[in-house]
Amino acid sequence: EIVLTQSPGTLSLSAGERATLSCRASQSVSSSKLAWYQQKPGQAPRLLMYGVSTRAIGIPDRFSGRGSGTDFTLTISRLEPEDFAVYYCQQYGNSPTFGGGTKVGIK
């Protein structure tokens, strides 16, 4: 099983700031099969990104993803109020697994 470790656990930022979230895999994720999800309290997760850097339908371009092998990053260029949430990475190169999540909170 591929273990995904997300850091930091919590990020405290203000609206308008840049957020950089990390996801590290215990072994190489094949064919860039990495996705990101956003989850707000009391809601189901929402797909943000797949294939490392392809935004899902309706996701604004302030969200971007990059990385390969074992190290991946989700960047939110300028935080909007609706972006404060928990973010999960997920690999689907093997039996799917999720990271533990990064909470982006208001500073």
Partner 1 sequence: QVQLVQSGAEVKKPGASVKVSCKASGYTFTSYGITWVRQAPGQGLEWMGWISTYNGNANYAQKFQGRVTMTTDTSTSTAYMDLRSLKSDDTAVYYCARGPIIFDSWGQGTLVTVSS
User: In the complex, which residues of this chain contact partner 1 (CB under 8 A)?
Assistant: 1, 33, 35, 37, 39, 44-47, 50, 56-57, 88, 90, 92, 95-101
* DSSP per-residue letters across 3-48: -EEEE-SEEEE-TTS-EEEEEEESSPPGGG-EEEEEE-TTS--EEE
Q: Which is nearer to partner 1, 70 or 92 (CB)?
A: 92
CA atoms of 89 and 102, how far apart (whole Å): 9
Q: Minimum CB separation from partner 1 for residue 88, in Å? A: 6
Q: Which is nearer to partner 1, 60 or 96 (CB)?
A: 96
Q: Minimum CB separation from partner 1 for residue 18, in Å? A: 24
Q: Minimum CB separation from partner 1 for residue 6, in Å? A: 9
Dihedral over alpha carbons 44, 98, 56, 77 (to 10 degrees) = 100
Q: Which is nearer to partner 1, 13 or 47 (CB)?
A: 47
